[in-house]
Structure 1
């Protein structure tokens, strides 16, 4: 009922769980004065789960009433079960009360600080993710930013395929690299939105366009003797990418995880020397070694891993 109340996932799970009726409160203290006091010892945190039958009590309330406060009053009078959020949980960000630009900024900074690193390699973790975090507060203020980033991702991918068709390898690879960065930013931007769980069509489209563009470049850079081997190695590289995406989160080799941006960077460097095929070989070798080492570490016993770490 209260405006600006933003609970974390733990509180939301508690809210939709049992019992069906639950009034969220905090013990009375000076630091919680922005919350409404409901008795001598507790303040209401702006959230309550009630049975719809409570609405029948509104019949006996005078005409001049507000739904939220009236329902709260009937719940308190009926001794509705309460869930007291401890000071420790409040300090950990269980409830955020956003009432002003200052509190909104504090909430945003806290969310950015808590944003998980996930399965980031060194390029994402030390360069792209820190830079993106700085720009996210401004992007979140633009309602259409996510849509425009998705459009930019598809546009750069299509332009890259066109550039590859006209035999401009460096331009094509740079466009794909920029598109993948835009998709990375978009993925971080919607990380706390509900649509993050939906199918990522811009990302899937970029993957298809990147595969097409690089395949065109390989055909142009190959002769009759090297075309088939290059395409086989390229297919192997694509398989490595798919397997690396299914790896464990925060593994011991997380910083070395291969992804599209890292491989595009390798291909750009190789194309700069006019040897895009060598970049393909280096990328395939890198991804293959990564998968072998990752599988080897996964098969090792916990005791061996603990001894090495110790």
Structure 2
């Protein structure tokens, strides 16, 4: 069942009364963007952001979200909320400044009726709103249309989120208690300052670094694990994924120079480094909950690797190998490899490693022949596994 999401973006940050918690930098974007992407990933089909004043930062966040296909609107008063809120579906309520692991968003998103995420009262949960003598609201709730509009009718100028939560408590909403370890390790937090946001981002990115789709072959067994190690640090340094991808393509172009100068092994090493940068870019986008890259820009580094093989080989066999690897690469990226295991997928990175090893042994021509046979075997395996 589809649902909408209501995010708060009006509370001041602890750094400056003029700044908003929602505008704090978090995981490569503003905090409100990250919350919106979490809600969308959990299944929300539209996002409503409650604001007291529309700032340039909030407007830019809306533009970036809209560019990624997320329906989002800024709500300044209760009249707009009554007009825009859905009357036939639940809403996901997210507290101003709340950051929670995606698993909690998914759990609440799949629930039905009035459901609240709560935490036991303790020193670690002190920043959250108390709802009774023993528990506090953990910043996430699912609210039914009846409860939402019944509250809007009487709310006046009160705080919508807290009023909804208190009404849900009075109506006996089901409660889901988060593990205490999530509080201690930063997977559930109420961010109030940039320093606090940086600490929570470290915990969130560390938890999400192992997620996401990785390639087959050497990309799966070597490049992806290295990218998972490097990406959280780059995220904390605010390195944009797009810049890393452009650097990967540029390095791939530089690799053509030694290949043209008949130093193919040097060029192949540079091409593997370019594929590594491309993997890092994919990982950074995954940590920021941005949609996976599409289009030729996402394929820039692998395509440069294929071009390098053709230039180094200088034969029709090398061109045929590049064509086969291109087909396998697209099937792998588009997740159309069926039940094939990662080691069964002969990727451009794997081919480069094979050619480097054969070149060190003075058997580059033989390396191209073996790579061609392995690519044929890989395609056959993918087709046969898909037919099972």
Give the TM-score normalised by the residue count of structure 2. 0.59
Q: Is the 8 A contact 1:237 1:283 kept in 2?
A: no
Give the gaps of 5 or more residues in structure 1: 62-66, 220-226, 301-310
Q: Does 1:6 align with 2:96?
A: no
Quote the residue 2:368 is aligned against.
280
Deviation of 1:181 (Å): 0.9
SS in 1 for 2:166: helix
Contact 1:10–1:94 (Cα < 8 Å) also in 2: no
Distance change in 2, residues 1:16/1:75 (3 Å): same
Q: Which one has the bigger strand percentage?
A: 2
Pairs within 5 Å for 1:117-266: 118=214, 120-121=216-217, 123-199=218-294, 201-219=296-314, 227-243=315-331, 246-248=336-338, 251=340, 253-266=341-354
Structure 2: gaps (5+ residues): 1-94
Secondary structure of residue in 2 paired with 1:195:
coil
Q: CA deviation at 1:146?
A: 1.8
The match for 1:24 is: 116
TM-score by length of structure 1 reads 0.71
CA distance in structure 2 between the partners assigned to 1:152 and 1:80 by the alignment: 55
**Aligned position for 1:45:** 138
Pairwise CA distance, 1:263: 0.9
Say what the alpha-carbon RMSD is for the aligned residues: 3.7
- Residue number in structure 1 paired with 2:162: 72
Greater share of residues in helix: 1
For the residue of structure 1 that corresponds to 2:100, the secondary structure is strand
Aligned to 1:303: none
TM-superposed deviation, 1:94: 12
- Count how many residue pairs are aligned between Structure 1 and Structure 2: 280
Residue 308 of structure 1 corresponds to none
Do 2:98 and 2:190's aligned partners in 1 also have CA atoms closer than 8 Å?
Answer: yes
The structure-2 alpha-carbon separation of the partners of 1:47 and 1:272, relative to structure 1 and needing over 3 Å to count, comes to same
Is 1:36 aligned with 2:124?
A: no
Give the number of the structure whose alpha-carbon radius of gyration is greater.
Answer: 1
The CA deviation string for residues 54-103 of structure 1, in whole angstroms up to 9 with x for no partner, is: 45544365xxxxx3xx5413552474563421456986999622654655
- Shift in Å at residue 262 of structure 1? 1.0
Tell me the secondary structure at the aligned position of residue 294 of structure 2: coil
